[in-house]
Amino acid sequence: MNKQATGIGFIAIFLWSSLALFTSQVGSVPPMLAIAITFSMASVFLIIVYFVRGELVQSWKDTPIKSMLLSGSSYFFYHFFYFYALQHSPTLLAGLLAYSWPLLIIMCLSSRKLSRFNWTHLIGGIIALAGTGLMIHSSTQMSTILDTTTSNNTSTPPTILGYLSAFIASLIWGSYSLTNRRRLNVPASCVLWNCIVAAILATGFHFALEPHVYNFSQDTWIAILGLGFGPIGVAFLCWDIGTKRGDLSLLSVLSYTAPALSILWTALFGKQAIGNEQIVAVIVVVIGVLISLYQPKKGHRK
């Protein structure tokens, strides 16, 4: 496996950890509109990059239409089902179901020869998932306390569709990451066309399902810019490289560091303090990651 590609893949995880910090600043923007704008910004940014490098036309020629449509649809529908799940089911269960995709990847890799697999990855992934659940639980409790002290509880009753949407989101992203492993001949610049497809789909869903409100504050637009160039833009490019040429099993476990880093970003730049339960959760995730990094030596017969 290419260690450099694995490192690039982790950059995507690092950028995704800032997602909560940015999205907390764009709460007034309808979800589909936010997805449409951020993917559009990412598309424009990547068009400029590959145009300057003289690779734009060649990228279009080298990217199969089928791959473009499937990957772009995965980008969009993962976010669509994830947002729906958060709106129609408890945050704890929705978060756990939606973030089960790394473990699904590890389990699939254990029966396939798509990436190097160690039993430590599976054990580390389970422990890291438990830590993620503890993080979501602590964050949910804090949000509930804030909601009850500042306003009436108007949470949406959980539905089976909410739970199902969370699992579908996880299944979509896990399947995309595994399928992307087989697209070694497709250049990383394909992310540009994937983002365009996602932006078109999000725009259509926005006009069909959401109110047409576009008067947002300057801080909101700055946060949208941050999303478009970071967690939505560069992150998908890095993940494409990581899933194709890096250690996908290890990257899956490392993905559980995103919620832990997210808590740190929120504590440093947001208004939320870190509680004892969240500290314990971060430690549990770190233990899971450290276990996954351990590579048992294979026995040699004399």
Query: What amino acid is encoded at 246 in this protein?
Result: G
Cβ neighbours of residue 8 under 8 Å, at least 6 residues apart?
238, 241, 242, 246
Q: Are 253 and 125 in contact (CB under 8 A)?
A: yes
pLDDT at 302: 42
Domain boundaries, the chain: 3-293
Of the listed ranges 39-48, 68-77, 96-105, 156-165, the least confidently predicted one is 156-165
Between 31-35, 71-75, 146-150, the lowest mean confidence (pLDDT) is in 146-150
pLDDT per residue as tens digits for the range 194-203: 999 999 999 9
Residue 247, token pair as written in the block: 């250690």
Q: What mean pLDDT is predicted for residues 179-185? A: 89
pLDDT in tens, 206-225: 999 999 888 888 888 888 88
Percent of the chain residues past pLDDT 70, beyond the cut: 78
- Residue 164 has a pLDDT of 87
Q: Give the model confidence (pLDDT) of 52-111 as tens digits.
A: 999 999 999 999 999 999 999 999 999 999 888 877 776 666 766 777 788 778 777 766
Distance CA 237, CA 180 (A): 12
Task: Yes or no: say if 34 and 227 are a contact pair by the CB < 8 Å rule.
Answer: yes
Q: How far apart are CA 197 and CA 70, in angstroms?
A: 9
> What gap in Å lies between CA 296 and CA 116, rounded to an integer?
13
Amino acid at 157: P
